[in-house]
Amino acid sequence: MKIKSSEFIISAVGPKQYPEDGLPEIALAGRSNVGKSSLINRMLLRRNLARTSAQPGKTQQLNYYRINEELYFVDVPGYGYAKVSKTEREAWGRMIELYLREREPLRLVIQLVDLRHPPTALDISMYEWLSHYRIPICIVGTKADKLSRNQVPKHGKIVRETLGMPKGQPLVLFSSETGMGRDELWSIIAQAADI
């Protein structure tokens, strides 16, 4: 995938602000600090388009990025952030749930998990929720460069087993530091978006 353009479009706080051009959307979800901003930047070959923020959970909106006038990345705020109020958490949950369940142009949810550790209870419940609604999922194991070469496949297997992923479902072993997994993830995105 050759990146000709990538631009931030909007931090949407509700459906009225979602784009209306019908371009396919690829959502990215994962707990705070999992490496989502770094992955977006690496995928788009941008240093700082998605803020690699030291303050996780700050974004309570869906951040839209348009790529090559062809598709959107939709950055879903990190789940499991403890420092927001219960009311805020519930409002966040409803908005995201509606988006993921009913958004017509949504083609794929990329769920990020930290490859160094087994998926957490929150990772598992997110995965089960997406599976329940038959939303197409690609799991990405982040920070692969922090593991030794022979640990990477072992940890990949643990992720697969812990989530109970079906055989055909993709798991991409990824590193924003080295670019590992980037081409593979782009080909999965291109296929899902039909571009």
Question: Whole-number minimum distance, CB 27 to ligand GDP, in Å?
Answer: 14
Binding footprint of ligand GDP, residue count (CB under 6 A)? 19
The answer to whether 12 touches 149, Cβ cutoff 8 Å, is no
Residue 71 pairs in a beta bridge with: 67
Q: Is 37 in the site for ligand GDP (CB under 6 A)?
A: yes
Question: Whole-number minimum distance, CB 165 to ligand GDP, in Å?
Answer: 21
Span 105-134, contacts to ligand GDP by CB under 6 A: none
- The helix (run of H) or strand (run of E) holding residue 97 is helix 86-102
User: What DSSP line would sit under 126-185, residue for residue?
Assistant: HHHHHHHTT--EEEEEE-GGGS-TTHHHHHHHHHHHHHT--TTS-EEE--TTT-TTHHHH
Cβ-based nearer residue to ligand GDP, 38 or 111: 38
Span 77-106, contacts to ligand GDP by CB under 6 A: 78
Cβ-based nearer residue to ligand GDP, 78 or 170: 78
Q: Is 143 in the site for ligand GDP (CB under 6 A)?
A: yes
